[in-house]
Structure 1
């Protein structure tokens, strides 16, 4: 982190400038056997493409509210940072009927249809695969994002004092999110280069900080585990050189 970092998008830019090749997010789904590792550079590229989709094709503007109906997943982490890049407020598990846009996984499509704005669906298949058939009323993220630009510039500079993240009706600004991420990293013992394994869901502040924001702010990385298999945990901690385990 640099002293000038005021939003999560700033944190990502600093991480990219410091060491683009180091791992940032390593994702496991123990129900499917999937493993995906994204370096800072690869993660930032996904964020840029998603931010371009959000700002360009979906017409999102700073201050818009996006209902995010996704589990702890590497693509969820991408959406969180893409929204920060545009200035869109992410409402984790928010009511789609009250949102300007909605991003949904395959298990929440019915609820997501309550949104009157743009709707994006993610299949959450291994390797970012597409839906076999695009759900009615949705854009398929895996179809739309590959053609987006690899660099992103917001039409309007993001205001660090604007709401960035809402969880359970409690919201924080971009600047507050960065401050809290640094505080959480310190309290959890996450330092530069640390590897954090998180089996926590993304629907709580604790899970979001452990599974993304605190490692990013501290210059560490996260091993994000969905459907965590406790039996193989010790072996994973060893193979992934994990220093902090949160589950």
Structure 2
């Protein structure tokens, strides 16, 4: 990270320049047994492709609102950073009827139909697999994103002082996201590079987003993001914490 980083996308660019091979997001779904680890470089590639999808295919413009009807998941983290890269507002759990675009997982597909703009569906299946049949009214993310470019350049510079994130009814600029994430880090046990936090918090609050993504990104750390952690016994959890070299937890 650099002191001059003022957006989450800036933080990701700095991480990529500093140590692209290190793990950034490790995701577990204890209902399916899925585990996937994304290095900074791999995560940044997904972000670039998704930002290109937003800007070039969906014609999303700075200030557009994207309703993210998604759980805490590695692909949700990708979308949050893609929105930051393109300068659009990520409205986590937001009203699809008030959004310019909607991105929905299996639990949000029906609600997402209220959006009159573009609709993207994510299967959230292991390895990012596509739907057997695309949901009616939606384009399948797993079909659309692979053909997008590996590098992203916004048409206009992203203004860190305009709204960038809405969660739990609160609105934040990009600069506020970065500042709050840095401020949260010490209390979360994220002390700098090498820190690794295991988070089982949902992404529907600032606290969940900070522990599950932003604070680690802001401090050069990494996150072990766990969905359905209640399926895991305490002994198995202790082994995960040890094997993943976790230094802090948020549950």
What is the TM-score of this pair, normalised by structure 1? 0.99
Partner of 1:233 in structure 2? Answer: 237
1:88 is matched with: 88
Q: Distance in 2 between matches of 1:183 and 1:4?
A: 16
Partner of residue 53, structure 2: 53
Q: Give the secondary-structure state (helix, strand or coil) at the position aligned to 2:27.
A: strand
Partner secondary structure for residue 106 of structure 2: coil
For structure 1, which segment, 99-108 or 186-195, has the greater mean C-alpha deviation from structure 2 after superposition?
A: 186-195
2:233 and 2:220 map into 1 onto residues whose CA distance is 27
Q: How does 1:158-237 map to 2 (within 5 A)?
A: 158-191=158-191, 192-228=193-229, 229-231=232-234, 232-237=236-241
Paired position in structure 1 for 2:129: 129
In structure 2, distance between residues paired with 1:118 and 1:239: 41
CA distance in 1, matches of 2:179, 2:233: 32
Other structure's SS at 1:16 match: helix
Deviation (angstroms), 1:5: 0.2
CA distance in 1, matches of 2:249, 2:85: 29
Q: CA RMSD in A?
A: 0.6
What is the DSSP-based 3-state SS (H/G/I as helix, E as strand, rest coil) of the residue aligned with 1:245?
strand
Quote the Cα distance in structure 1 between the aligned partners of 2:154 and 2:71: 27
Q: Counterpart in 2 of 1:156?
A: 156
CA shift digits 1:28-87 (9 cap, x unpaired) = 000000000000000000000000000000010100001000000000000000000000
CA–CA distance in structure 2, aligned partners of residues 11 and 95 of structure 1: 28
1:242 counterpart residue number: 246
Query: Is residue 30–residue 228 contact of structure 2 (8 Å, CA) maintained in 1?
Result: yes
Residues matched between the structures, number: 247
Runs of 4+ in 1 over 2 A off after TM superposition: none
Which residue is equivalent to 2:118? 118
Gaps of 5+ in 2: none
Offset of residue 169 of structure 1: 1.8
Residue of structure 2 equivalent to 1:43: 43
> Where do 5+ consecutive residues of structure 1 fail to align?
none
